[in-house]
Structure 1
Amino acid sequence: MEMFILVYICFAVKFNLVLSLSPEDYPTLGSKKAPRLLPKNILKTVFDYQEAQNYTVFLYKQDHGEVYAGGTNFVLRLNTTSFQIIEKHDLNTTGSLECEEDPCQNVITVIEELNDGVFVCGTNGHRPQCWTLPSSPNSSPQSSDGSEISPVLYSQNFLSLAVEGDLYAAAPFDRNGRSLQFRRTAGRRTRVSMYNNWVSEPTFIGSSWVKRENDPDNEKIYVFFREKNSDTNPEADHWISRVARVCKVDEGGSKRFFQNMWTTFIKARLVCGFPEESLYLNRLQDIYVLHDRNWNNTRVYAIFTSNWNSTAVCIYTIGMIEDVFEKSTFKGYNKTIPTPRPGHCIKNSRTIPLATVSVVKDHPEMAGWVHSVHYNTPFYVSSYNYTKITVDQVRGADNSVYNVLLLATDSGKIHKVLEAGPKPVIILETQPLSRSTILSIKLDSKKRKLVVGFPDSIKTMDLQRCEYGSSCQDCVLAQDPYCSWSTDMFQCTASALGNIQNVMTGNPNICPSRDSKLRHRREAQTSPFAHNVSLGVPFYLSCPVDSYHAEYRWKNGHHHSPCLQMRSQCLHLIPNMTQDDYGTYECESQEQGYSKVVTAYLLKAQDIPEPRMEEHSLNNASQPVARPWLTLGLLSAALQLWHL
Structure 2
Amino acid sequence: MLISVTSTAPRPVLRAYEAEVHCSLLPLLLLSTDFKTLKADIFSFICLTELLETRTIRPFSFSFNTSDYRILHMDQDQGRLYLGSREYLVSLDMQNINKEPLIIHWPATSQRKGECRMTGKGGQGECANFVRLIEPWNRTHLYTCGTGAYKPVCTFINRGWKAEEYLFRLVPGYVDSGKGKCPYDPRQENAAVLINGNLYAGVHVDFMGTDPAIFRTLGDRPAVRTEQYDSRWLNEPVFVKIQKIPDSAEKNDDKLYFFFREKSLDAAGGSTPSVLARVGRVCLNDDGGQRSLVNKWTTFLKARLVCSVIGAEGVETYFDELRDVFIQRTHDERNPTVYAVFSTAGSVFKGSAVCVYSMADIRNVFNGPFSHKHGHNYQWTPYTGKIPYPRPGTCPGGTFTPGLHTTKAFSDEAINFVRAHPLMYHPIYPTHKRPLVVRTGVDYRFTTIAVDMVDAVDGRYEVLFLGTDRGTVQKVIVLPKDTSTTEDMLNLTTFICAPVKTLKISTKRQQLYVSSQRGLTQVSLHRCAVYGKACSDCCLARDPYCAWDGETCSAFTPATKRRSRRQDIKHGDPLRQCRGFNSKGMETVQFGVEGSSTFLECQPRSPQATVKWLYQKDSKRKAVRFLPLCLREFLPSHPEVHQ
- The TM-score bracket by the shorter chain reads 0.7 to 0.9
Output aligned runs, 1:126-165, within 5 Å.
126-135=150-159, 139-140=171-172, 142-165=174-197
Residue 32 of structure 2 contacts residue 490 of structure 2 at CA under 8 Å; is this kept in 1?
no
Q: Kindly indicate whether residue 424 of structure 2 is the aligned counterpart of residue 366 of structure 1.
A: yes
Cα distance, 1:475 vs structure 2? 1.8
- Answer 1 or 2: which has greater helix percent: 1
Q: CA deviation at 1:244?
A: 0.5
1:50 correspondence with 2:50: no
Pick aligned residue for 2:223 from 175, 183, 191 = 191
Where in structure 2 are the equivalents of 1:478-489 lying within 5 Å?
Answer: 478-487=541-550, 489=551
With over 3 angstroms needed to count, the CA separation of the structure-2 counterparts of 1:222 and 1:464, relative to structure 1, is same
Aligned equivalent of 1:594 = none
Deviation of 1:221 after TM superposition, in Å, equals 0.7
Residue 302 (structure 1) shift: 0.6
Equivalent runs, 1:276-425 vs 2, <5 Å:
277-306=315-344, 307=346, 308-332=349-373, 333-347=383-397, 348-375=406-433, 377-383=434-440, 384-398=444-458, 400-421=459-480, 422-425=485-488
* CA contact 1:452–1:459 (8 Å) conserved in 2: yes
Query: Could you state the TM-score of these two structures normalised by the residue count of structure 1?
Result: 0.78
1:40 is matched with which residue: 37, 43, 47? 47
Q: 1:216 to 1:36 in 2, by over 3 A?
A: farther
Structure with more relative contact order (C-alpha pairs < 8 Å, separation 6 or more): 2
TM-fit CA distance, 1:530: 5.9
1:22 to 20, 25, 33: 20
Task: Mark the runs of 5 or more structure 2 residues left unpaired by the alignment.
Answer: 1-17, 24-28, 161-166, 374-382, 398-405, 617-623
1:251 corresponds in structure 2 to: 287
Between the aligned residues of both structures, percent identity stands at: 27
Distance 1:352 1:115, change over 3 A: farther
1:305 is displaced (CA, Å) by: 0.8
CA spacing shift, 1:110–1:534, aligned 2, 3 Å: closer
Matched letter for residue 614 of structure 2? K
CA deviations 1:603-638 (Å, max 9, x no partner) are 22xxxxxxxxxxxxxxxxxxxxxxxxxxxxxxxxxx
Tell me the amino acid that sits aligned with residue 80 of structure 2.
E
Change in CA separation of 1:192 and 1:174 when aligned onto 2, cut-off 3 Å: closer
Alignment check: 8 A CA contact 2:33 2:489 kept: no
Residue 168 of structure 1 corresponds to 200
When residues 491 and 303 of structure 1 are mapped into structure 2, their CA distance, relative to the original with a 3 A threshold, is closer
Sort the Cα spacing of 1:29 and 1:560 in 2 relative to 1 into closer, same or farther, 3 A.
farther
Q: Given the two structures, how large is their TM-score scaled by the length of structure 2?
A: 0.78
Question: In 2 relative to 1, CA 63–37 (structure 1 residues): closer, same or farther, beyond 3 Å?
Answer: farther
Closer, same or farther: CA 172–309 of 1 in aligned 2, 3 Å:
same
Question: Is 1:448 matched up with 2:510?
Answer: yes
Residue 57 of structure 1 contacts residue 110 of structure 1 at CA under 8 Å; is this kept in 2?
A: no
Whole-Å Cα distance in 2 between the matches of residues 190 and 424 of structure 1?
Answer: 48
Q: Distance in 1 between matches of 2:248 and 2:391?
A: 23
Picking from 237, 245, 266, the partner of 2:273 is 237
CA distance in 2, matches of 1:30, 1:206: 29
Of the two, which has the highest radius of gyration? 1
Q: Give the number of aligned pairs.
A: 546
The separation in 2 between residues aligned to 1:418 and 1:550, in whole angstroms, is 16
Aligned to 1:494: 556
Partner Cα distance (1:78, 1:30) in 2: 35
Output the CA distance in 2 between the equivalents of 1:556 and 1:205.
56
Deviations 1:305-343 (A, max 9, x none): 113101000000112101111133444433122232111
Q: Report the Cα offset of residue 37 of structure 1.
A: 5.5
Mapped to 1, the partners of 2:79 and 2:31 lie a distance apart of 41
Per-residue deviation, 1:86 = 5.5
* d(CA) in 2 for partners of 1:510, 1:338: 65
Change (3 A) 1:67 1:189: same
Aligned twin of 1:110? 133
Q: Matched residue of 2:364: which SS?
A: helix
Q: 1:554 pairs with 604, 613, 625, which one?
A: 613
Q: How many angstroms apart in 1 are the aligned matches of 2:103 and 2:241?
A: 28
* C-alpha contact 1:465 1:494 (8 A) present in aligned 2: no
Post-superposition offset of 1:425: 4.2
Distance 1:144 1:179 in 2: 21
Show the counterpart of 1:476: 539
TM-aligned CA deviation for residue 540 of structure 1: 4.1
Counterpart secondary structure, 2:566 = coil
Q: Find the aligned partners of 1:115 and 1:23 in 2 and give their Cα distance.
A: 46
- After superposition, the CA RMSD in angstroms is 2.9
Question: Which residue does the alignment assign to 1:543?
Answer: 602
2:499 aligned partner: 437
Say which SS state the counterpart of residue 626 (structure 2) adopts: strand
- Of 124, 129, 132, the residue aligned with 2:148 is 124
Q: Deviations over 1:364-387 (max 9, x none)?
A: 111111000121x21110134111
Partner of 1:624: none
Query: Whole-Å Cα distance in 2 between the matches of residues 226 and 534 of structure 1?
Result: 58
Counterpart for residue 460 of structure 1: 522
Unaligned runs of 5+ in 1: 1-19, 564-571, 584-601, 605-644
Once the two structures are TM-superposed, the CA of residue 448 in structure 1 deviates from its matched residue by 0.9
| Structure 1 equivalent of residue 569 of structure 2 | 503
Residues 460 and 37 from structure 1, CA distance in 2 versus in 1: closer, same or farther, beyond 3 angstroms? farther
> 1:37·1:428 contact (CA, 8 Å) conserved in 2?
no
